[in-house]
A and B are shown apart, each in its own frame.
Chain A
Amino acid sequence: MNRKALAAAALLLATGLGLDLGLGAAVAADKLKVGFVYIGPVGDFGWTYQHEVGRQMLVKEFGDKIETTYLENVSEGPDSERSIEQLARAGNQLIFTTSFGYMDPTLKVAKRHPKVMFEHATGFKRDKNMSSYSGRFFEGRYIQGLIAAKMSKKGVLGYIGSFPIPEVISGINATMLAAQKINPDIKIKIIWVNTWFDPGKEADAAKALLDQGADVIMQHTDSPAAMQVASERGALAFGQDSDMIKFGPKTQLTAVTNNWGPYYVERVKAALDGTWKSEDTWAGLKDKMVVMAPYTNMPDDVKKMAMDTEAAIIAGTLKPFKCPIMGQDGKEVECKGGDALDPGQVLGMNFYVKGIDDKIPGK
């Protein structure tokens, strides 16, 4: 028995592979079979939980006209391709893959199964049988930035990032652009945990940010750990994906929550009617794919400002990425969308705006 090889295998497992727990579903004819691939456990009370809420809405809406299956805890990369392939082979006709890192695996499987319809969340690649959909989360982040700058006494915000992908970076930028409107000298400290879900690590990151002087915590990871740490320390925080008020009744200011249900219902309906085609959906506060949790633990004037901003974003009179926008180097970012950055610039964002005293990791 080679003990060292085993230790290496253990390390590999610790760092890389997740364990997928499949839920098998019996095959039944003439029902539309809909499959979901989740990055975390359905009970993460964050990202995956919200997709699960959407799936349950489908079940309620369509009853026995459809049959849904989900695979949870599927790690990004090769593991996910196997899982998606498995769903396609099991006869699922519509498959939702719900994490950024599933993009290329989904595309590969989509090419192999031209008759199966695929829907990939938060990516930018599409095909004849592969749609993409995402939320304009940065709209909510912009509102959070305003609130954070108003509520921070020390003028230091703490931000827990998962991976430095455009979705997360655009959130950081939107937060800062808004915060600078209130306090031009506002500082932001960013810690990347390089995972979407590890409550212990998220808690450690929150502690580190608070210990380093931040007094408002924002996160782009999936568990309520940071909220709970902030609540223990008497700081303020924003929930993520789900309303996390339970974990910080006196701590949560608001949360950018994701509401996938209506979109899922619409797409399944299209698939049932035979009108489904590959599309790119990018919806925000206006279409209620992004919904703000109630504004709590803040004075009335801040609350009013937040609500007014939300209304202005919905009305289209306020654009979070309104030009001119200065990059970190102090130069103006090219404005491709007229008076604001165009969707491509936001969905592929890989720069920090001026005022962020940090570097995007690996850049």
Chain B
Amino acid sequence: MELLEAIILAVLAASTPLLLAASGELLVERAGVLNLGVEGMMIVGAACGFAGAWATGSTFIGALCGIFAGVALSLVFALMTLGLAVNQVATGLALTILGVGVSGLIGAGFVGERISTAPRLYIPGLTTLPFVGKILFGEDAFVYVSLALVIAIWYFLYRTRAGLILRAIGDNHVSAHALGYPVLKIRMFAVMFGGGCAGLAGAYLPLAYTPFFVPGMTAGRGWIALALVVFASWLPGRLVIGAYLFGAVSILQLHAQGWGVGVPSQLMSALPYLATVIVLVLISRTRSGGSTAPAALGTVFVPDR
């Protein structure tokens, strides 16, 4: 039981940055914008988050710095793709490369520095409960925030008028424009929101996961977040399942090795990705034709003035 508890705790920690970044990107893509720069925004969020926490000693301020950095970088993306109508794929990739460079620059002075890990929730009586205590009531704030975020996004998309408008823009920006909705303005807010989520996800790594900063520490998690959005077929509920499934497979393969399960570790390392591919195939088979992708995803919109 103790081992199971430890595994679940590790899975939650490994899944949280993916869930944070992916839920932001989900909203962005629902608005019809494809921002491939998640990795770049994450790594800048990691560098700035660490810098903030290091300077002030506060995890909360570190997280704010991470969010702010992610938003700042996403504004570059918004300016290019929404303002100047540049190709979104190219801009997103450029944003990642830019982010990796900028984060290295910002973080250079912080390599080798240490901070204390994000505090964990402690409720007397509840956190000490056997097995479920630590899992339900002993996490750091990021874990709870990530779940609250997904619920909020679900509520926004399906239960509010603004969410309906956002989805309409993602599916047909010409019609939405004709109805008088400010397509570019709403998309800009969506992109900023996605940037903030990616920045927070990045900040999670040095603030709660491994409390130090090294360049390149996101190690491809931004790309996985992007894949998760497709995996979830743009539905918030499936995103949670996808993120935790991915986290679970990546932690369990490590444990399986420790137990001496006779499967080559190279194959096990590939399992999380393999699982993603398989689920993608299954989803596309069960759906009769057509994809649930926002119809206007990745297309440039230039309003006729």
Whether B260 and A358, one on each chain, are in contact in the complex, defined by CB atoms closer than 8 angstroms, is yes
Q: Are A361 and B265 in contact (CB under 8 A)?
A: yes
Q: Which of A192-224 contact B (CB under 8 A)?
A: 192-195, 197-201, 203-205, 207-209, 211-212, 223-224
8 A Cβ contacts from B51-83 to A: none
> When A19-B100, A45-B214, A361-B266 are in contact, do A11 and B273 touch as well, CB less than 8 Å?
yes
Q: What is the CB-to-nearest-CB distance from A235 to chain B, in angstroms, rounded to a whole number?
A: 13
Q: Which listed residue (A44, A228, A229, A359) contacts B215, Cβ 8 A? A: A44
Please tell me if the beta carbons of B254 and A43 are within 8 angstroms of each other in the complex.
no
Contacts of A211 in B (CB 8 A): 2-3, 6-7, 10, 255
Q: Verify A204–B112 contact, CB threshold 8 A.
A: no
A232 touches B250 (CB 8 A): no
Contacting residue for A246 out of B112, B262, B269, CB 8 A: B112
Q: Looking at A4, A7, A192, A229, which has the most chain B CB atoms within 10 Å of its CB?
A: A7
Of the candidates A164, A199, A358, which one forms a contact with B219 in the assembled complex, judged by CB atoms under 8 Å apart?
A199
B contact patch SS: helix
Do A193 and B269 have beta carbons less than 8 Å apart? Answer: yes
Task: Kindly list chain A residues whose C-beta atoms are within 8 Å of the C-beta of B220.
Answer: 13-15, 198
Tell me if B101 is interfacial: C-beta within 8 Å of chain A.
Answer: yes
Contact (Cβ within 8 A) B214 A11:
no
Check A264 for interface membership: any CB of B closer than 8 A.
no
Interface stretch among B125-133, B162-170, B192-200, B292-300? Answer: B292-300
| A contact residues, total (Cβ < 8 Å) | 55
Contacts of B249-263 to chain A: CB distance below 8 A: 250-251, 254-255, 257-260, 262
Question: Judging by beta carbons under 8 Å apart, are A208 and B230 in contact?
Answer: no
**Chain B residue contacts of A191, Cβ below 8 A:** 254, 257-258, 265
Beta-carbon contact of A43 and B36 below 8 Å? no
| A-chain residues with CB within 8 Å of residue B273 when the two chains form the complex | 11, 14-15
Question: Does residue A63 face the partner (Cβ distance < 8 Å to B)?
Answer: no
Q: Write the nearest CB–CB distance from B224 to chain A, whole angstroms.
A: 5
Given the interface contacts A203-B209, A204-B250, does A43 sit within 8 Å of B107 by beta carbon? yes
Residues of B within 8 A of A207 (CB): 6, 10
Asked if A10 meets B223 with Cβ closer than 8 Å, knowing A197-B216, A204-B250, A361-B265, the reply is yes
B34 A14 Cβ-Cβ under 8 A: no
Known: A190-B257, A357-B260. A14 touches B10 (CB 8 A): no
Q: How big is the B interface, by class?
A: 35 or more
A3 touches B297 (CB 8 A): yes
Query: In the docked arrangement, what's the CA distance between A247 and B101, Å?
Result: 25
The answer to whether A203 and B298 touch across the interface, beta carbons within 8 angstroms, is no
CB < 8 Å neighbour of A11 from B215, B227, B250: B227
With contact pairs A3-B230, A193-B269, A232-B117 given, residues A41 and B262 touching in the complex (Cβ less than 8 Å): no
Q: Given contacts A11-B223, A194-B269, are A45 and B112 in contact (CB under 8 A)?
A: yes
**A13–B212 CB distance below 8 A:** no
Contact status A247-B257, CB under 8 Å: no
Question: Is there contact, CB below 8 Å, between B215 and A43?
Answer: yes
> Chain B's nearest CB lies how many Å from the CB of A14?
3
Q: Which residues on B sit within 8 Å (CB–CB) of A357?
A: 260
Q: Mark A142-159, 1 if CB is under 8 A from B, else 0.
A: 000000000000000010
**A272-319, CB < 8 A from B:** none
Tell me, yes or no, whether B141 is within 8 Å of chain A by CB.
Answer: no
Residue pairs across A and B with CB atoms within 8 Å: the count is 168
* Cα–Cα distance between A13 and B269 once the two chains are bound (Å): 16
Tell me if A180 counts as interface (CB < 8 A to partner B): no
Residues of B within 8 A of A19 (CB): 96-97, 100
Contact with A along B262-280 (1 / 0, CB 8 A): 1011100110010011001
Would you give the 0/1 interface string for A27-53, flagging 1 where the beta carbon is closer than 8 Å to chain B? 000000000000011111100000000
What residues of chain B lie closer than 8 Å to A164, measured between beta carbons? 265
Q: Taking the complex as formed, is A225 at the interface, i.e. its CB lies under 8 A from any CB of chain B? A: yes
Give min CB distance, A91 to chain B, whole Å.
24
Q: Are A192 and B219 CB-contacts (below 8 A) given A223-B214, A247-B114, A357-B260?
A: no
Contacts of B121 in A (CB 8 A): none
Q: A1 on the interface (CB 8 Å rule)?
A: yes
List residues of B (231-245) whose CB comes within 8 Å of A's CBs: 231
Q: In the complex, A198 Cα to B7 Cα: how many Å?
A: 19
* A73 CB-CB contact with B under 8 Å: yes
- How many Å lie between the Cα of A193 and that of B89 in the bound state? 31
* A21 interface residue (CB < 8 Å to B): yes
Task: List 9 A-B residue pairs with CB atoms under 8 Å apart, sorted by A's residue number.
Answer: A18-B216, A42-B215, A195-B219, A200-B210, A204-B14, A204-B251, A211-B6, A224-B212, A362-B264
Residues of B with Cβ closer than 8 Å to A?
Answer: 2-3, 6-7, 10, 14, 17, 34, 36, 89, 96-97, 100-101, 104, 107-108, 111-112, 114, 117, 205, 209-212, 214-217, 219-224, 226-227, 230-231, 250-251, 254-255, 257-260, 262, 264-266, 269-270, 273, 276-277, 280, 284, 291, 293, 297-299
In addition to A192-B269, A211-B255, 8 A-B residue pairs with Cβ atoms within 8 Å of each other are A3-B291, A7-B230, A14-B220, A19-B100, A191-B257, A204-B254, A358-B260, A362-B264
Q: Which 10 A-B pairs have the closest CB atoms?
A: A14-B223, A41-B215, A192-B265, A43-B111, A194-B269, A211-B6, A198-B219, A361-B265, A14-B220, A1-B298
